[in-house]
Structure 1
Amino acid sequence: MIMGGQYYSPFLLTVLCSHAARYGYQRTGEFLVLRAHTLLAAEITKPSSIATVQALLQLSARELACSSVSQAWLYSGMAFRMVSDLGLQHSGGTMRNGGRHTAEDIEIRKRLFWSCYVWDKAISLFLGRMPALTELPIDYSTDFGSSLTESAGDAEEFEPWSPSQGESVHLTKLAPGEYPPTQCRVLSCFSNYCKLAVIISDIILCLYSRTTQPDTIGAVKHLKLRLDEWRESSPAHLKCVPYALPEVCPPPQILTQNMLYHIAVILLHRPYFSSHPHRTECRQAAKRLEELCALFEKTFGSLRMTYMMAYCVYTGATVMVQDVRRGDVDAVAKLQTFMGALQQAITTCPLVQRSIEILRNSLSFKAPATSHQPVYSSLSPEECVAFQHHLPAFPYHDASGAHGGGDPYGGSLDTLSFLESFPESNWEATTDYWEL
């Protein structure tokens, strides 16, 4: 920053500060984001740059959490276009400075491409829209740090991590010094995260797009196999193992990865929710999410929750709604945990209010006395009606939030760019379920 190098810009610095200000300095953050908008006007008249892509990604995340959905979507799209313009999808691609770049340059370019790839999948899940970055280079790699010296890579991976930064900033419910010594594990965590994002992208494209798959059942079985293999091969230091959770929550980047794995399980099985084995898989994943949510609340408090975590909490809550309607006491307790976490998260992520409204509307929704819906053999008649009014898989559909037509959640299913928010409707013509 002092030297004003190629990876720094006032725009990037301003966006980072405005994003961080959400967690304690709201008025300062509002001022900074206005300043960022002014700087952006100048940036887009210049050639694409690494710093501008980074700033646009951060600005997209900030605007999404603050309910500025259109802006978040547009800023992310600008970032993805710049990635293509810079050729970041090719880690050894030619740069405009004559084609020469250092090992550090290569590493930065590779990490930024994957940051865009991961955020593309995240914002697609949040908004229920199709991913923009779906193709990967033939020789793609998530082996981060390989182009750096061994000492440099180790320094990043094993850097100490603490939720406390001096006397003025303390981001945990624990007393100062109580959080156990922990390593960042940033390289292995990001690498594993990217591998999971590739699988999630394929789940979205296979199950939630309007493109008909020639062999959907076979594709889904293969996706389950890949997801199981990912979980099995994940490093032990990145796993939060059920029945053996630590007393203190691991760093958020590690916890989020575990939550996202359970979300992938739900998204994979949700289209077959009328089948008991797949309903069980969804409920089991939701149970694991509730345990991780409680662990995070115990250590950090839900006020510190990111929007990615909030999305995971929302998805877990949707699985519990039918059980709550039937009076399942255990499901009621889990839903209370989810709702309490979402309610606290509103402070830093106002968009979470939309998720809460969907859940509340679902709990108060009364199914019609008569129904011409198809009956599923594995469900009771009451469950069949509830199933046909299945909760949206994605918490945002309509900017106005207005409830109209036959959709009690205000979602429009006519826009082809949107993911199918009621995935079970894709399977009306399917008579067979894939076996677990």
Structure 2
Amino acid sequence: MRDLECSGPYCSNFMLNAIFACCSKFSRRPEVRDNPDDPATAGRRFFRRCDELLARESLLTKPQVSTIVGLLLLGSTYNARGETSKGWLYTGYALRMVYDLGLHLDPKQTTDSAEEIEIRRRVFWGAFVCDKLQSLYLGRPVAINLRDSQVSREFLDLYEEKEPLLFPAISSVSSPGLPEGIGDAIPLHSVSTFQQLCMLSKIMTTIINRFYVVGATFSNAQNSLQQVDKALQQWRGSLSSDLDFQPWLSPGVPVPRQPPNVMVLHNLYHSLIILVHRPFISDGHLRSAAAPVRSWERCTVAARCITSIALTYKSTFSLAGAPYVLGYTIYVACTIHVRNAASQDHQSGDHLSLLKASLACLDELCIANPGVAKPANIIRRLVEANKLDLMAEEAQTIDQSSFTFDLDAILNMFPANQGPDVDFVMPGYRMGLDYELPPDPLFGLMDGPAMSFDLETPMLL
């Protein structure tokens, strides 16, 4: 706010308009829409102003911290809107500016003030996280690798750590179904949550590079499985009680409330478990070498946790203000639910209930994040291909403590790998490979056209 008033270096008209553009999708106020009757037009005037400022002030050739922040916000929002080319390019410009300004390195000696050091660190880690999430969405290499940076995750400004959650966007006026005072006495824990997200993004980098991108081989992935799985478990074990969230532990008992950022953090963690383990089910070369039953159990438990958290988020806050990344995690869970449901002898039970509940969440997320429509459509095509009946009667309760699945049937739902040997590249990056890719990719779901399905052979996807 200070730099906004005095035209300081850490705020600009471009960054301010980027904030307005990105927040407008969560607003129900007709004033922010070009067409008051069309929510899809929310924020368009701010997007236009950003484009005008980029051109008029030649901002892409003048790296500044405020420009980096604005570009990252716009890039993430364009991806959430389904405009992935623009999202990719804007985020790419921001990441290049990070390097250009040297934000990827903590200087050993500096004359910068503590405030300037703090800002540089936060902007770098924000860019680092955006880079990794975009890589997952689009199936493209990361721009900032672990070896390319050395920046501390120690933040000095802890002011907002205990700041109470205030949610005017979903107040009792805009969402009358929500209880009044929902944000009372819920600390945001925004600093510690962000620090843990940075740590999780480092693990995410390893997962992407060893399991999914070009050059990631089956043998390397197999050798990395235990190491990465252990890193995820250690990350989870290191969380403080303030950040713990397991709504499935006590069915019927009110769950201790957590802010949305903590819920999203946990869902991202569970989705990474699936990203690590699903390749060892979906690829024929790894089925005999790895333990497919154990890997699919891990995937099934993680998917259940994701849906449980998403439903808690929905019932507590509604999904009207939820970010795109929550939609990605729910999509990842659906790729497991749909196969478990299809492997059951009868078209009812917990797996189908979880799938239906998750799809309902994706549909609600589409309102503010139109880009979620694509992953939702991928899952619905899988449902159709496997002749699942989403209108079947749901189970009265979802039992989180037990599960059953037919592993042989699940294995048959993935394409058989025709790669020549165990050092062939992992089936994550689209490069005209000689074997089929899964119709529901975890890496690169937003990139390229929707894949086709053979509805006559539902179990051979």
Fold equivalence (TM over 0.5): yes
Query: Residue 432 of structure 2 aligns with which residue?
Result: none
2:398 matched to 1:392?
no
State the Cα distance separating 1:89 from its structure 2 match.
0.7
1:281 partner amino acid: R
Checking the alignment, whether the CA contact within 8 Å between 2:121 and 2:151 is kept in structure 1 is no
Query: Residue 2 of structure 1 aligns with which residue?
Result: 5
2:384 matched to 1:364?
yes
Instruction: Report the Cα distance in structure 1 between the residues aligned to 2:200 and 2:254, rounded to whole angstroms.
Output: 23
Instruction: Report the Cα distance in structure 1 between the residues aligned to 2:205 and 2:9, rounded to whole angstroms.
Output: 32
Instruction: Report the Cα distance in structure 1 between the residues aligned to 2:376 and 2:60, rounded to whole angstroms.
Output: 40
Checking the alignment, whether the CA contact within 8 Å between 1:270 and 1:279 is kept in structure 2 is yes
State the Cα distance separating 1:158 from its structure 2 match.
1.6
Checking the alignment, whether the CA contact within 8 Å between 1:65 and 1:307 is kept in structure 2 is yes
State the Cα distance separating 1:249 from its structure 2 match.
4.3
Checking the alignment, whether the CA contact within 8 Å between 1:127 and 1:396 is kept in structure 2 is yes
Query: Residue 340 of structure 1 aligns with which residue?
Result: 360
Stretches of structure 1 that go unaligned for 5 or more consecutive residues are 146-152, 368-377, 410-436
State the Cα distance separating 1:67 from its structure 2 match.
1.3
Query: Residue 434 of structure 1 aligns with which residue?
Result: none
2:44 matched to 1:30?
yes
Regions of 4+ moved over 6 Å: 165-169
Query: Residue 86 of structure 2 aligns with which residue?
Result: 71
Checking the alignment, whether the CA contact within 8 Å between 1:125 and 1:394 is kept in structure 2 is yes
Q: SS in structure 2 opposite 1:392?
A: coil
2:286 matched to 1:283?
no
Question: Residues 238-273 of structure 1, C-alpha deviation per residue, up to 9 Å, x if partnerless?
Answer: 111240585364211111111011011111111112
Q: SS in structure 2 opposite 1:386?
A: coil
CA shift in 2, pair 1:180/1:83, >3 Å = same
List aligned pairs for 1:213-224, cutoff 5 A. Answer: 213=217, 215-224=220-229
Query: Residue 257 of structure 1 aligns with which residue?
Result: 265
1:210 partner amino acid: V
How many residue pairs align between the two structures?
385
CA shift in 2, pair 1:379/1:90, >3 Å = same
2:189 matched to 1:185?
yes
CA shift in 2, pair 1:9/1:171, >3 Å = farther
Question: Residues 59-78 of structure 1, C-alpha deviation per residue, up to 9 Å, x if partnerless?
Answer: 10111111111000000000
1:252 partner amino acid: P
Checking the alignment, whether the CA contact within 8 Å between 1:128 and 1:394 is kept in structure 2 is yes
2:164 matched to 1:160?
yes
State the Cα distance separating 1:408 from its structure 2 match.
6.2
- Bigger drift between 238-247 and 218-227 goes to 238-247
Stretches of structure 2 that go unaligned for 5 or more consecutive residues are 35-41, 282-286, 388-405, 416-437, 456-461
List aligned pairs for 1:223-234, cutoff 5 A. Answer: 223-234=228-239
List aligned pairs for 1:14-29, cutoff 5 A. Answer: 14-24=17-27, 25-27=32-34, 28-29=42-43
State the Cα distance separating 1:384 from its structure 2 match.
3.5
Instruction: Report the Cα distance in structure 2 between the residues aligned to 1:207 and 1:235, rounded to whole angstroms.
Output: 29
List aligned pairs for 1:132-143, cutoff 5 A. Answer: 132-136=143-147, 139-143=150-154
Query: Residue 424 of structure 1 aligns with which residue?
Result: none
List aligned pairs for 1:17-416, cutoff 5 A. Answer: 17-24=20-27, 25-27=32-34, 28-41=42-55, 42-44=57-59, 46-92=61-107, 100-136=111-147, 139-145=150-156, 153-164=157-168, 173-213=177-217, 215-241=220-246, 242-244=248-250, 247=255, 249-273=257-281, 275-325=292-342, 326=344, 327-365=347-385, 379-380=407-408, 382-388=409-415, 391-394=440-443, 396-401=445-450, 403=451
State the Cα distance separating 1:182 from its structure 2 match.
1.3
Query: Residue 416 of structure 1 aligns with which residue?
Result: none
Instruction: Report the Cα distance in structure 2 between the residues aligned to 1:167 and 1:398, rounded to whole angstroms.
Output: 36
TM-score, scaled to structure 2:
0.77
State the Cα distance separating 1:345 from its structure 2 match.
1.0
Question: Residues 147-185 of structure 1, C-alpha deviation per residue, up to 9 Å, x if partnerless?
Answer: xxxxxx342222222223797976784232244411121
1:271 partner amino acid: P
Checking the alignment, whether the CA contact within 8 Å between 1:324 and 1:331 is kept in structure 2 is yes
What do you get for the CA RMSD once the two structures are aligned? 2.6
State the Cα distance separating 1:112 from its structure 2 match.
0.6
Query: Residue 371 of structure 1 aligns with which residue?
Result: none
1:198 partner amino acid: K
1:391 partner amino acid: D
